[in-house]
Each structure stands twice: as structure tokens, then as C-alpha cells.
Amino acid sequence: DTEVTQTPKHLVMGMTNKKSLKCEQHMGHRAMYWYKQKAKKPPELMFVYSYEKLSINESVPSRFSPECPNSSLLNLHLHALQPEDSALYLCASSQAETTGEKLFFGSGTQLSVL
């Protein structure tokens, strides 16, 4: 299984809502990532989990809260988002952060904040 599965595929939420994005991989990878991608732009790194511990937080606003319950799962909890947070949210995994040359991306969650 070489897939990274993300749910939901689409999400529309209001600025006062709380929602969660989910990501799952069964490749035995020990590093997992959240990226944000605006239209016609490259992916921007948000968070890196290495061996289930948060290792990189790229100064992301606290309305985004990551969680790594186990080595296969990664969540991104969303609260009080702004319309400018509308984007494609991508989850990725790699063997390990220190050898994370090859990133395996999921198909993403297209988020719209109204």
C-alpha cells in the first residue's frame, strides 16, 4: 500500500466552526507532514511530525492544531478559521524526517472558509 489517504476531500466551514482533517498511511513511514497549497502556488510546509512528535512548526497560527495519535494517523484540527485560510491542505509522509527525500502526498482536502 503506497497511498496516503485524506478525508474529507472537500470541506466548507464557517468562521465559527470546528472541524478536523484526517490523514492515514500504512507504509510504515515515521515522518508525516501537513502542507497548505493555494491555487497556482507551491505547497507550503506547516507542520512535521517525526516519530509521532511535533518536530517542525512553521509559525502556523494557533487556529490550526495538529495531532498525531499514532504512527499511521495525522489530524489537523481547525477552529475559528479566516476566509484567507481557504486552500488545498495536503498531508504527506516519508520514511523518516532525516531521510525524507521522497514525499508521498495524499490528494488533499479542498477547504473553503465562508
Q: Residue 80 Cβ, how far from another protein at the closest point, in Å?
A: 26
Size of the site for another protein (CB under 8 A): 24
Per rule CB under 8 A, is residue 38 in the interface with another protein?
no
Q: How far apart are CA 92 and CA 95, in angstroms?
A: 11
Buried b / exposed e across 33-70, counting CB within 10 Å, b at 16+? bbbbbeeeeebeebbbbbeeeeeeeeebeeebebebee
Cis peptide before 61 (omega within 30 of 0): no
Output 56 or 73, the one with its CB closest to another protein. Answer: 56
Note the Cα 104 to chain centre separation in Å.
12
* List 30, 32, 100, 113, residue binding another protein (CB under 8 A): 100
Span of 14-22, 59-67, 72-80, 93-101 interacting with another protein by CB under 8 A: 93-101
Q: Which residues bind another protein (CB under 8 A)?
A: 4, 40-43, 45, 48, 55-56, 90, 92, 97-108, 110
